[in-house]
Structure 1
C-alpha cells in the first residue's frame, strides 16, 4: 500500500510538472511594422532566442508564437535592423523594425577585416549578393557589369568563359591586368566555381587600400563573402530558372547573288558554278549555331541554435552554347558553419566542392571560318559535306565541329577552416588555413575522314584527317594560404582604435602530364592512349610549376568622435618569382565626416558628408615563376667537322636575372554624401594611378642569338587618371509603392608614359600585318594603321596618287594619306587611330515595387573607344565571303562609292577604313516578378513564392556594324595589346528565362 501511494504521488507530481510546463508556454501574438512608414512587414522571422522555435509574419504582418512569459523574442528581416524583445508576461506585442543603417553606415569588407562604410578612408564599392543572383549568368562578375563605377566588365557568350575585369584602367601588358579575387579568405584568379546564389556581398577595393594584399593588389581586389546561417529555425530556399539563349544581333553575310557578283570583281577567272551542287544559299552562321537551352537550380538550408549556425547549398547549372556541340554543366555543393566552442573560442568552416564538364570548340578553326566560307557551297547533303576547301576557300565549319570532340572535366575544392579566440573582449586572435585544389582532365579527339567523294559532295581539297588523333592531359594544382592575425578593437570615449597585425604564408604547386596518339578507335569507351599507335607522331610531355610567398601585414584604423579618420597599412612580401625576393607595400588614408561638425548640425541639405583621401604603393607579380631563371635547351643537333652528329645543350634565351615586380602608386580623393533624408546617396572620386617598373621587351642585337631578339625587363611606365561618379536614389511613396534608381559613370585616360629603352609592342596580326602598337604617349594597345582618305573614283586620281607598296592603286581601291610625303604609301605612313579602351563607361538601373509586383532593369555602356573590324580585313582568299552590308555599299561602276572599296583582298593593309566606333548602350537585364500573397501560401507552409520573367542582353544601341561592340579575348595575359580586334570572337548571346524563388 505504501509503495502504491508512493507511485501515485510520483505520477501526480509528474502530471503537475507537465501541467506547469504547459502553463509556462502561452500564445504571444503581435504585429510587425516598418518604424518609419507603419507598413506591415511580411515574412519577418520571429524566434525564441536560444532555441530553434520560431515562425514568420503573415500578409498583415501578424504572428502567433507559443513562448514562456520570460522568453526573449528575436526579430530579423532583410533590409531591417534585427531586434531583441523580452516577452515580460505580455500576450500581445506591437513591434516596429527600423530600416537598416543608411548607405554610409553599411559594413564593407576591406581585407582581413570589415569596417563601417562611413569609417572607410579608401575607395571601396559594395554590391549586395541578391542583386548578383537576379541575373541568369554563370559568374558574379558578369552580373557586376554596369553596377560599380571604375569597374569595366567584358563578358562572352561562350559557356564557362571567365569575364575580364579592368579596375580603373589597364595597368599592365606583360604581367596581367586582371584583379585579385578573395573568396572567404581564399586568394584566387578564377571564380567560375562560385554559385551566385551563395554570395552575401561583393566588395571591390579600387584604390591603394588594396595594398593590404601587397604584390597581388596592383590591379584591384574583388572580395566575395558567401552566406552564413543565423540563429533560428531552418530556412529552406529554392531558386531556379530555365530558358534559352540565342545569338544577339547575328551578322548578315552575303547571299549567293551578292557573293557571285562580288567574285566577278575579286576573282574574274573563277567559275562560280564549278563546285556548286545546289542552287541555294548557305548561311554558315545558322548551320553551326542553335537556340541553346540553359537552366540553373539552387537549394539551400540555413539556420542555427545558440552555439552554432549553418548554411548548406547545392547548385546545378546547365548552359548550352549557341555554337553546336559547345556546352557546360556544373554541380556545386557548399557548407558554411560556425560553432561557438565557448564564449571565447569560435570555430568556422567554409568549403565548396564543384565539378564542371565542358564541351569546347576551337574559335579560330570554327568561328573564324564562318564569316569566310562561301555561301554557294552546301554545308551537308545526304550525309556528304560541301567541300569549301576544294573551292579554294576555308574549311567547312560544320565538319570541323562534327569531327572533333573536345571535352574537359574540372574538379575543384575551395575553402578554409579557422579559429577565432578572444582572450579579452577587445582582442581577437584569428588563424585560418585556406586552400584551393583543382583536378582537371582534358580529352581532345579528332575523327578520321578523307578528302574524297565518300566524305564530301565534291572530292579533293585540303580538308582531311588521315588518322584519328587523341590528346589527353591531366593537370592538378594545389594552393594554400595560412593567415595568422591579431586584431585589437577598442573604443575609449570618443576614440576608436583598430590595430591588425599578422603573418601570411602562401604556396602554389602545379603538375601536368599529357600525351598524343594516332589511330585510336572512335568509340569513346576506348579513348585511351595505350590503344593508339605509339610509332606514329606519338608525343608525351609533363611539367608543372611551384612558387611561394611569405608576407607580414599590419593595419591601423583610428577615429575620433566619428568624424576624424586616419588609416594606414603595411605589407612586406617575399616572392619566389623574383631573384630580388622582398618588397614593401603600403597605404595611408584620412577622412573627415563633415556632417558631424557642429556647424553642419542645422544644415537642411546634407544628412551625411565625408571627404576622404588615400595614397599608397601596390605590386604585381603575376608572371611566370621561371621568367628570370636562365635555362638551357637540350637535345639540339650539332655537326662536327668530321660530319658526326651530336646532341648537346645550349642557352638560347637571354633573361634578366634581376627582374622585379611591377609597382603601382595611386592616390585617390573622394567625397561621399547623402541628402534629402538619405534618399539620395553618392560618391565622387578622382584618382591618379601610375605603374612603374612595368615589364616590357628590350631589343637585342641579332648577334647575341636570342630567337626573339629581345629580352624582358622592368623598363616601362603606364598611367591611368580619371573621375568616377556614383548616385543612388531610394524612395517609398506609400505602403504599396517604392522605387530605386542608380547611376554611375567613369572617365579614364590611359597612357604609356615611358618605355625607357624598351621597344614598342606590336600586336593583333591581320594577314601577317600588325594592327596595334603600344608606345609612348598613347594608350596601351592603340590602333596603328594607315589613314584611309576615300576611294579612287577614276583613272586620273589613280595616276596622281602616291605609289602603294601593299597593293596596286586602281579605280575603286582605297586611297591613303602619305604622312611622310615621300611619294610612297608604306608602313611609315601609319597613324594612331584610337584604342579599344573606353574614355567613358558606366551603367544605369532602376527598380519599381508595387504591391506584389516588381520590375527592374539594368543598362550598361561605354563610349570614346574604337573597334577594328578584323573580319572585314581578314580575307585569306579571293573566294572568301563578305558581309552583306559591304556587298550592298561597295564601289561598282554602276554605283560608285567614296567610302567602301570595290574589293578587299589579303593584300589590303590595315587602315582607318576598318576602324569603327565602339560606343554602345545595352539593356543588360530586364526582370518582371510577382510575389504571391502569403495568405495563399500559408496552408502549404510556404513563407515566400515569387515567379519572374527575365531577359539578358535584350537590345543594344550601337554604331558598330558588326554583331556586338563588346569584344572578348579570353587570353587576357598575352592578348592585352590585341584587345578590340573583332575577328574570331564568340557571338554575344541574348537570354530569356522563367524563374522561381521559393522559401519555406
Structure 2
C-alpha cells in the first residue's frame, strides 16, 4: 500500500510537471542599467517560486520558457532585484544599488540585510583582511571601521588592544567580546585571516543581545564555508621580512662622555674600565634584527546537493625583530554542512591550532636597551659580555636574551556542532554546542651567569644568576556555550516579521600548576624539576577559577514595505560572579527608509536614504569570579599561650553587594547613497553612559596594609561622539575601476561621578603617580606639574618658590608654575594636561584596478591625544644613557636653553615637560598586484594566479620623539587566551611610554593561486 501511494504521488507530480511544461511559452527580453543604458551581462532570471532560470548573455539578452501567468525575478549583484510578469518582449531596466546596503551582516544569533538594520554595525570583508601580512584579524581592522580604535604591538603573538567608542571600563575589562562562528571568546589570535569570510562589529546597543558581555561592543567573525560545485583548491602565500619601524637615536661615545663630564664627572674618574672600549654601542642594534616571516595557506572547498565543505591548513612563521623572540603557528580548519533531510541540517565548524613561542620580557629588556651606556661593549670577540651593571647598575640586555631559554607551546581547539530543523517553512529551530579549549605548556630556564662565572668582560656589578633556575607551568582552560533558539520568519504582503527566542548556557573552567627548582642541569634534555637541587628553595603553585552564566534571549524585527523598521531585543542574564545573580538587558531600535517613500520617487539626489536610532542597556561582568566572596586564610602563624602555632583568619575586606557595570547607550544615525550609488556613507551620533562602574578604592592603612584596596561599584563615566563614513566606487571604461573610502570618529570621554569623591591615581614613575582619574576629566588624565621653562641664572632661582618635591631649584633646572599661589612647589600645584585617549581617529583608503594590475593603500590616524615620555622621566642613575636629541638641546652654560633642562634625574617630578603630542598618520598597508591572463594560466590547469608586493606600516608621520605613538598598556590576555587579566593599573596607566616593544615594518612578496 505504501509503495502504491508513492507511485501514485510520483505519477501525479510528473503529470502536473509535464502539463505545466506543455503550457510554457518562450519569453525573450533585454536587461540594461536604468541610469546609463548599458547592457548587463550575467543577470539572473528565474521563474518565481521555482529554481528554473537563466542568465543574460553578452548583449544583455535572455530567453526562458515560462507559463503565461508566471512572474520573472531579476537579480544582479549591486542592483535592486525586480519582479516582472511574463510578457513578450520584456525590456527590464535595473536600478543600481550600493552593494554595502544589500550585503548580509551578522547581528548576533542571526543575520539581516544591511539596509534593514536599525543599529550601528560595521562590516569588513575577509578579502580586505587577508591582504595585510599581520598575525591577527584585529590588527587588520585598523582604520577600517569608524568608532573602532585598534592599537597593536610589534611583539610576535601579542594581542592588540581594541576600543569601540572609547574606554568603557576601568576594572571590568575594556576590550570587546569576540564571537567566532558562535563561540564566545576573549582572544582571536588563533584565527587565520585567510579563513575569514567577514567581520561584523556591533557598536551600539544592538550588542545587548549578548547581555553582560556586550557593554564594550561585539566583534563577530564568520569563517568561510564551501559552495555547491566542483572542488576548488586555493593556495595563498607570502614571504618577507620585518624590521623595527623606528628606534630612538641615543648619543654616541663622544656625546655621552661630554654629558658625563658636565653633570657627573666623578663617575668617569671612578670607573675607568669601560672607557677602554674605543667604540660606540648602539644597544638597539645589539638586540634587534631583520626577522624573516612567511605565511602559507591552502584550502579545499566545494559541495554537492546535500553537503558542502571547506577545509584549510595554514602555517605562520615569524622570526621576530628581537633576537630569540620567535613565534610559529599551525592552524587546521574544517567547516562542513550536511543536509540530512530536506528539513534537518547538520553543521560542524572546527579549528585546531598549535603555536610555539619563545617569549621575552620586553619591558625589562627594552628598559635596559634605553638606559645602557654606549661606552660599554655589548659582546666582545671572545664571547664575553660588557658589564653594564658594573658601570651604571643596568643589566646588559644581550645577557638577558642569551641566558634565558623561554618556551611556550599552546594547543587550542575551537568550534561547534549544530543542528537546524525546519519545523515549518517559517519556523526554524537551531541548537549549537560551542567549545573553546586551551592547553599550554610553559618552560623558562635561566642559565647560571655572573662575573665570577666568566660571563662579563670585567668584574663587579650585580647582574648575576648564582643558581640556574627552571620554571614550568601547565595551563588548562575551556569554555563552552550551548545555544538553543527558535526563529519565526514570515512575510505577509508588505509586512515582514522575524522573531527569535532562545536559551543559552555557558561554563568556564581554568586551572594551572607550576613549580620552580634551582640548579637544574643546563642540558635541555634534562630540564625537569626533579633533577634540580631539592635542598634549595622550591616554589609550587596550583590554582584555578570557574564560573557559569545562564541566559534567556529574545529579539523581534518588523519591516513594512521596506520603509518602516522596528526592532527590539531582550536578554536576561544570570552570572555566578555576583551575589545578585540575575540582570535584564535590552535594546529598542527604529528605522525609516525615506528613499522608499512616494514623495522621493522623482527626486534625483538620493538613491537611498535611511534614518535610524537605537537605545539600550548593556552589562559588563568581566571580573574575577571571587571578588565578592570573603574567604579565610589558613596556616597563619600566631602565638597562643606563649607558643607559636598556626590558625585561620579573615584577612580580606570585600563588597558582598558587587554587581555588574551598567551601560546605557543611545545611537542616532543616517545612511545614504547618491550619484547613482557611487557614493555611500553613514553618520552616527552616540552617547554611552556607564554607571555603577567597578573601581578599586584604597583602604586606610589603619586596616592593616598601606596598599589594600576595596573593589566596589562606585564610579560613572561616559563616552560621546560622532562617526562619519564615506565610500566612493566607480568604473571608467572596461578596464579601469577605482574606489576611495574614509572614516572619521570623534570621541569625548569623561568621568561624571565618583562615589565619595575619591580620585584614582596610576602610572607610577620613580615612586610618583602620573595620571589621575577624577570628576569631569577623561579616564587616566595626566596630572602633573606645569613646567614653564628653565632657570637661566641664579637670580631666577632665588626669586622662584622653593621646590618641595625632592629636586632643588638650580640653574639649568626646570621651572614649575605655583598654580595654587601658596608660595611653594608641591603636589598641590599639579594640573590636568590631557590624556592618551584620542579625540579624533580613523582611516582612509583608495585603490584601483587597471586591466591585470591592482593597487591598494590603507591609512590609519589619530590626533588630539597626548603621550607621556616615561623613558626620559624614569632615569634611575646619572650614568644612564640619554637621547641624542636631548643631548643637543639641553641647557649648558655655553648653550642656554629655555625649554630643555641640563639634566634629568630620578628626583625630577612628573611634569608637562614629558608630555608630547600623540598624533600620527600611518600608511598601514600598500599592495601592488598583478593577475595573469586567464587564457595563459588555464593552459597549465590553473584557474587564477595573482602575484603581489606588499608593505605593512611603510611610514608614520608623527612629532612624537619616542619609538612609536602607538602604545599598549599591560592589559593583554595571558598566553592561554581564555583568561582575561583584569588590571585597573593598566587602564589608569595608559599613555605612559616606558620600554615598549618597537612597532614593526613588513615587506613581503606573495602569490594567490586557484585551481
TM-score by length of 2: 0.90
User: Residue 7 of structure 2 aligns with which residue?
Assistant: none
The correspondence of residues 912-931 of structure 1 with structure 2, limited to 5 A, is 912-931=912-931
CA 1:61/1:387 → structure 2, altered by over 3 Å: closer, same or farther?
farther
SS in 1 for 2:171: coil
User: Residue 670 of structure 1 aligns with which residue?
Assistant: 669
CA 1:33/1:986 → structure 2, altered by over 3 Å: closer, same or farther?
farther
User: Residue 157 of structure 2 aligns with which residue?
Assistant: 160
For each residue in 1:474-523, what CA deviation from the matched residue of structure 2 results, as whole angstroms up to 9, or x when unmatched?
Answer: 01111100000000000001100000000000000111100000111111
The correspondence of residues 21-32 of structure 1 with structure 2, limited to 5 A, is none
For each residue in 1:393-439, what CA deviation from the matched residue of structure 2 results, as whole angstroms up to 9, or x when unmatched?
Answer: 30111001000111111100000000000021101100000000100
CA 1:512/1:141 → structure 2, altered by over 3 Å: closer, same or farther?
same
How far residue 941 of structure 1 moved from its aligned partner, in angstroms, is 1.3
Residue 166 of structure 2 corresponds to residue 169 of structure 1: yes
How far residue 39 of structure 1 moved from its aligned partner, in angstroms, is 9.2
User: Residue 544 of structure 2 aligns with which residue?
Assistant: 544
How far residue 671 of structure 1 moved from its aligned partner, in angstroms, is 0.4
CA–CA separation in structure 2 for the residues paired with 1:502 and 1:268: 75
Residue 517 of structure 2 corresponds to residue 517 of structure 1: yes
User: Residue 680 of structure 1 aligns with which residue?
Assistant: 679
How far residue 652 of structure 1 moved from its aligned partner, in angstroms, is 1.5
User: Residue 504 of structure 1 aligns with which residue?
Assistant: 504
CA–CA separation in structure 1 for the residues paired with 2:41 and 2:858: 27
User: Residue 772 of structure 1 aligns with which residue?
Assistant: 771
User: Residue 109 of structure 1 aligns with which residue?
Assistant: 106
CA–CA separation in structure 1 for the residues paired with 2:657 and 2:395: 47
CA–CA separation in structure 2 for the residues paired with 1:837 and 1:673: 30
8 Å contact kept, 1:679–1:730: yes
CA–CA separation in structure 2 for the residues paired with 1:76 and 1:808: 79
SS in 2 for 1:626: coil
Residue 736 of structure 2 corresponds to residue 737 of structure 1: yes
Q: Any stretches of 5+ residues in structure 2 without a counterpart? A: 1-29, 46-54, 61-72, 84-91, 973-981
User: Residue 202 of structure 2 aligns with which residue?
Assistant: 205
CA 1:81/1:930 → structure 2, altered by over 3 Å: closer, same or farther?
farther
CA 1:613/1:378 → structure 2, altered by over 3 Å: closer, same or farther?
same
SS in 1 for 2:400: helix
SS in 1 for 2:276: coil
> Bigger CA drift: 815-824 or 497-506?
815-824
CA–CA separation in structure 2 for the residues paired with 1:912 and 1:750: 21
User: Residue 595 of structure 1 aligns with which residue?
Assistant: 595
8 Å contact kept, 1:697–1:759: no
User: Residue 70 of structure 2 aligns with which residue?
Assistant: none
1:976 paired residue among 987, 991, 999: 987
CA 1:288/1:33 → structure 2, altered by over 3 Å: closer, same or farther?
farther
How far residue 682 of structure 1 moved from its aligned partner, in angstroms, is 0.3
8 Å contact kept, 1:969–1:985: no
> Bigger CA drift: 248-257 or 848-857?
248-257
User: Residue 51 of structure 1 aligns with which residue?
Assistant: none
User: Residue 490 of structure 1 aligns with which residue?
Assistant: 490
The correspondence of residues 807-826 of structure 1 with structure 2, limited to 5 A, is 807-826=807-826
CA–CA separation in structure 1 for the residues paired with 2:1007 and 2:970: 32
Residue 245 of structure 2 corresponds to residue 234 of structure 1: no
For each residue in 1:190-238, what CA deviation from the matched residue of structure 2 results, as whole angstroms up to 9, or x when unmatched?
Answer: 0000000000000000000000000000000000000000000111110
SS in 2 for 1:875: coil
CA–CA separation in structure 2 for the residues paired with 1:556 and 1:254: 65
CA–CA separation in structure 1 for the residues paired with 2:217 and 2:37: 40
CA–CA separation in structure 1 for the residues paired with 2:443 and 2:786: 46
How far residue 938 of structure 1 moved from its aligned partner, in angstroms, is 1.1
CA–CA separation in structure 2 for the residues paired with 1:61 and 1:542: 73
8 Å contact kept, 1:696–1:755: no
CA–CA separation in structure 2 for the residues paired with 1:534 and 1:608: 76
User: Residue 120 of structure 1 aligns with which residue?
Assistant: 117
The correspondence of residues 501-900 of structure 1 with structure 2, limited to 5 A, is 501-640=501-640, 642=642, 644-705=643-704, 708-757=707-756, 759-805=758-804, 806-900=806-900
8 Å contact kept, 2:273–2:458: no
How far residue 697 of structure 1 moved from its aligned partner, in angstroms, is 2.8
CA–CA separation in structure 2 for the residues paired with 1:519 and 1:80: 72
User: Residue 15 of structure 1 aligns with which residue?
Assistant: none
User: Residue 149 of structure 1 aligns with which residue?
Assistant: 146
User: Residue 352 of structure 2 aligns with which residue?
Assistant: 353
> Bigger CA drift: 973-982 or 332-341?
973-982
SS in 1 for 2:212: helix
CA–CA separation in structure 2 for the residues paired with 1:624 and 1:443: 26
8 Å contact kept, 1:265–1:903: no
The correspondence of residues 441-452 of structure 1 with structure 2, limited to 5 A, is 441-452=441-452
8 Å contact kept, 2:302–2:308: yes
CA–CA separation in structure 2 for the residues paired with 1:189 and 1:908: 40
CA–CA separation in structure 1 for the residues paired with 2:331 and 2:97: 32
For each residue in 1:892-911, what CA deviation from the matched residue of structure 2 results, as whole angstroms up to 9, or x when unmatched?
Answer: 11111000000000101110
How far residue 81 of structure 1 moved from its aligned partner, in angstroms, is 10
CA–CA separation in structure 2 for the residues paired with 1:747 and 1:40: 41
CA–CA separation in structure 2 for the residues paired with 1:892 and 1:409: 53
SS in 1 for 2:498: strand
SS in 2 for 1:925: strand
How far residue 107 of structure 1 moved from its aligned partner, in angstroms, is 0.9
How far residue 589 of structure 1 moved from its aligned partner, in angstroms, is 0.2
User: Residue 363 of structure 1 aligns with which residue?
Assistant: 362
For each residue in 1:220-264, what CA deviation from the matched residue of structure 2 results, as whole angstroms up to 9, or x when unmatched?
Answer: 000000000000011111011000000012210111111111112
User: Residue 933 of structure 2 aligns with which residue?
Assistant: 933
Q: Any stretches of 5+ residues in structure 1 without a counterpart? A: 1-31, 47-55, 63-73, 85-94
SS in 2 for 1:824: coil
1:255 paired residue among 247, 252, 256: 252
CA–CA separation in structure 2 for the residues paired with 1:96 and 1:389: 80
How far residue 700 of structure 1 moved from its aligned partner, in angstroms, is 3.3
The correspondence of residues 375-386 of structure 1 with structure 2, limited to 5 A, is 375-381=374-380, 382-386=382-386
The correspondence of residues 226-375 of structure 1 with structure 2, limited to 5 A, is 226-271=223-268, 273-375=272-374
CA–CA separation in structure 2 for the residues paired with 1:244 and 1:827: 48
CA–CA separation in structure 1 for the residues paired with 2:840 and 2:645: 60
How far residue 961 of structure 1 moved from its aligned partner, in angstroms, is 1.1
How far residue 452 of structure 1 moved from its aligned partner, in angstroms, is 2.8
1:222 paired residue among 215, 219, 223: 219
CA–CA separation in structure 2 for the residues paired with 1:889 and 1:239: 50
For each residue in 1:513-567, what CA deviation from the matched residue of structure 2 results, as whole angstroms up to 9, or x when unmatched?
Answer: 0000011111111111111112211011101111000000000000111100100
SS in 2 for 1:802: coil
SS in 2 for 1:885: helix
How far residue 37 of structure 1 moved from its aligned partner, in angstroms, is 8.8
Residue correspondences, number: 936
Residue 998 of structure 2 corresponds to residue 990 of structure 1: no
CA–CA separation in structure 1 for the residues paired with 2:56 and 2:600: 41
> Bigger CA drift: 97-106 or 410-419?
97-106
CA–CA separation in structure 2 for the residues paired with 1:306 and 1:916: 62
CA–CA separation in structure 1 for the residues paired with 2:764 and 2:775: 21
CA–CA separation in structure 2 for the residues paired with 1:995 and 1:843: 25
CA–CA separation in structure 2 for the residues paired with 1:363 and 1:738: 45
How far residue 99 of structure 1 moved from its aligned partner, in angstroms, is 8.1
SS in 1 for 2:274: coil
User: Residue 71 of structure 1 aligns with which residue?
Assistant: none
For each residue in 1:746-767, what CA deviation from the matched residue of structure 2 results, as whole angstroms up to 9, or x when unmatched?
Answer: 0000000001126322111111
TM-score by length of 1: 0.91
CA 1:410/1:731 → structure 2, altered by over 3 Å: closer, same or farther?
same
Root mean square deviation, CA, Å: 2.5
User: Residue 949 of structure 1 aligns with which residue?
Assistant: 949
8 Å contact kept, 1:945–1:998: yes
8 Å contact kept, 1:695–1:715: yes
